[in-house]
Amino acid sequence: MNDSIDRAFAINVVKRLTEEGFEALWAGGCVRDELLGLVPIDYDVATSARPEQVRKIFPRTVAVGASFGVIDVIGPILPNGKPVLIQVATFRADLGYTDGRRPDAIRYCSAREDALRRDFTINGMFFDPLSGKLVDYVEGQIDLKSKLLRAIGDPELRFAEDRLRMLRAVRIAPRFQLTIDASTRASIIAHSDTLGAVSAERISDELRKIFNHPSRLEGMRLFIELGLAKQVLPEVFKGDETEGGQNILAILGGLTSNASFPLVLASVLQNLSKKNAYEICRRLKLSNSELAITCELVSLKDALLMPEKLRLCELKKLLANPNIQDLLELMQANLLGGDCDLNAVKFCREKLALWNFDILTPPQLIGGEELKELGLKPGPKFKQILDFIRDEQLDGILKTHQQAVLRAKELEKLL
């Protein structure tokens, strides 16, 4: 339903602009997706109208990048409560890239010149939804049919303009089952060491898109082969195609297609210490949640390899971990990658099927306030007693409040 609303409004935006005498076309990824028979994630419009003219035509807009000729046009509200947003950008040519990220300045230009400044030919096409005509100045349709990812014009210039495009190639090629053009590939390898100039936020955003897609295995393979992995994660990838890299590919191959970003990242970082994993997550400016889950998975990756030998309280606490399913999937991928049996994973899943939440995390038999009433003073011993009682409760040794009270008195004398 949302898809049809997005598309209808994107057509309407083009219609309104053309009615006002401006050239307007769908641009970029949505054109590529339409040609592939896919539903576009979003629709972008390129136009001869200047930003101030766009804002006069449409009553509800947001100037997200007016200095670069970009305006968001706000459409109808979707069932999820969010509005349709169509990005409308004026045809532009970019004038120099000092920082390897964004143009120093722009000038407004023709549709053809606008196409020539874009990244890859398959993303450089335009489409008129009113006439059904494809406008292709860069032979993007030919490359799409040939399943080729090729930089527009000189790849050296394209990657010098925006170095993140190298990482985008790694994401786009496997997603659409494309082969990277030889000159484009050679240019990425030659300039991979410049990726460090890209902001951590932009790099981590691309990594999420690579890792969250079912094509992640081929994406990671390219990430390593093109020399980008050792720029982003030098602690893990010290060479172009190290044995460690091959082991990581084997493990990633064992993950399910919908594996979470922290799980995939933990699979890559798992041979590092928790401290190193933490430092990498901070460097990539991940969210607190992503950081916490990734580091926890790294630190616990081997904790359940021999679950039958664990003390019952230790096993229950591990199985009660909110990230237990990701942990078991990481374990399974590691075991499959090493041609090992899956008995440990099977054992844990059988226990999870038998033990409900109340068995894994029952209400505490005694709390801190009750220890105070018994005359115990808060301090290191206080926590030790509570921990001992909790473990013995999970072990099934202590089952009642009265038993816990008696045990607390015993422990107060022993510790």
Give residue 242's pLDDT.
53
Q: By C-alpha distance, which of 362, 358, 412 is closest to 386? A: 412
Cβ neighbours of residue 305 closer than 8 Å, sequence gap 6 or more: 331, 344
Task: Give the residue carrying structure tokens 């580091």.
Answer: 295
Count of structural domains within the chain = 2
Q: Does some domain include residue 66?
A: yes
Question: Per-residue pLDDT for 212 more than 50?
Answer: yes
pLDDT band at residue 1 under the 50/70/90 scheme: very low
239-272 pLDDT per residue, tens: 655 556 888 999 999 999 999 999 999 999 999 9
Q: Does some domain include residue 194?
A: no
Lowest-confidence segment of 71-85, 124-138, 177-191, 257-271 by average pLDDT: 71-85
Contact 404, 393 (CB under 8 A): yes
| Backbone dihedral angles phi then psi of residue 326, each to the nearest 5 degrees | -65, -40
Contact 111, 91 (CB under 8 A): yes
Give residue 2's pLDDT.
59
Give residue 373's pLDDT.
85
Question: Per-residue pLDDT for 341 more than 90?
Answer: yes
Give residue 46's pLDDT.
97
- How far is the C-alpha of 299 from the C-alpha of 289, rounded, in Å? 16
- Residue 412, classified by CB atoms within 10 Å of its CB into exposed (0-12), middle (13-18) or buried (19+), is middle
CA distance to 165, 167, 373, per residue, from 193 (Å): 13, 12, 64
> 214: which 2 tokens?
């079912």
Which CATH number covers residue 86?
A: 3.30.460.10
CB count within 10 Å of CB 132 equals: 7
Q: Does some domain include residue 317?
A: no
Contact 137, 111 (CB under 8 A): yes
Average pLDDT rounded to a whole number, residues 135-146? 97
Cβ neighbours of residue 38 closer than 8 Å, sequence gap 6 or more: none
363-382 pLDDT per residue, tens: 999 998 888 888 887 888 88
Helices 288-300, 261-269: axis angle to 10 degrees equals 50
Task: Give the residue carrying structure tokens 């053009």.
Answer: 181
> What is 302-354 written as a DSSP string?
TTTSSGGGS-HHHHHHHHT-TTHHHHHHHHHHHHHHTT---HHHHHHHHHHHH
Lowest-confidence segment of 6-10, 29-33, 296-300, 410-414 by average pLDDT: 410-414
Domain finish residue from 138, 155, 180: 138
Give residue 99's pLDDT.
53
Give residue 123's pLDDT.
97
39-80 pLDDT per residue, tens: 999 999 999 999 999 999 999 999 987 677 899 999 998 888
Domain finish residue from 138, 154, 173: 138
Q: Does some domain include residue 216?
A: no
Domain range for 376 is 362-414
Cβ neighbours of residue 348 closer than 8 Å, sequence gap 6 or more: 304, 307, 319, 324, 328, 331
Average pLDDT rounded to a whole number, residues 181-193? 97
Strand partners, 44: 27, 87
Contact 162, 97 (CB under 8 A): yes
Contact 73, 46 (CB under 8 A): no
Give residue 104's pLDDT.
66
Give residue 401's pLDDT.
93
> What is 174-213 written as a DSSP string?
HHTT-EEPHHHHHHHHHHGGGGGGS-HHHHHHHHHHHHTS
Q: Does some domain include residue 45?
A: yes
Q: Does some domain include residue 186?
A: no
Domain finish residue from 100, 121, 138: 138
Q: By C-alpha distance, which of 110, 140, 133, 134 is closest to 47? A: 110
Q: Does some domain include residue 160?
A: no
- How far is the C-alpha of 156 from the C-alpha of 188, rounded, in Å? 8
> 223: which 2 tokens?
């990430």
- How far is the C-alpha of 370 from the C-alpha of 357, rounded, in Å? 25
Helices 288-300, 274-283: axis angle to 10 degrees equals 160
Q: Does some domain include residue 391?
A: yes
